[in-house]
Amino acid sequence: MAFAEDCTAPERPDFSMNVEEIDVQDYNDVTEGLIRFEDASANYRACLDLTISERSEGWVDALSAYNASSLAQDEVYAAYEAFSEGFMEASEKKAAEAAEKQSAESAEEAEERLAELNKDLPEDLGE
């Protein structure tokens, strides 16, 4: 394959991390990896396109590689979409749990404050 010396397929981003254990910065890093993959894929296809359009040695292999790169890109986007949806679901779950915890803590604090205020009231106030 003559194009192999000049054209290098991009490395696929890694979506294997547990979405329940990552933070927004980790998510942004993965998204930036996807952008780098997209840029590298465009450069790779442009390189292959030159070999294909010139019908130089290896153009058939370059055409096959070009088609495979399109499939790889589709697979990467599908994996990113699943990763992104998982992260969003995990984030919503964390937010709901935090809100529930805060609500419970607020209710407990309110009860403690009310008890504090009521302890100084005369016992026959309600009669």
Q: What is the residue-level pLDDT of the chain in tens, covering all 127 positions? A: 455 567 899 999 999 889 889 999 999 999 999 999 999 999 999 999 988 888 877 888 989 999 999 999 999 999 999 999 999 999 888 888 877 777 777 777 777 777 777 777 766 665 5
* Cα gap 105→86, rounded to integer Å: 28
CB atoms within 10 A of CB 9: 16
- Number of domain units in the chain: 1
**pLDDT of res. 1:** 44
Q: Does the residue 54 lie in any domain?
A: yes
**pLDDT of res. 126:** 52
- What is the extent of the structural domain holding 68? 2-8+17-121
CA nearest 14: which of 37, 44, 42?
37
Q: Does the residue 127 lie in any domain?
A: no
* Cα gap 93→31, rounded to integer Å: 21
Which pTM does this prediction carry? 0.68
In three-state secondary structure terms, 121 is coil
Q: Does the residue 113 lie in any domain?
A: yes
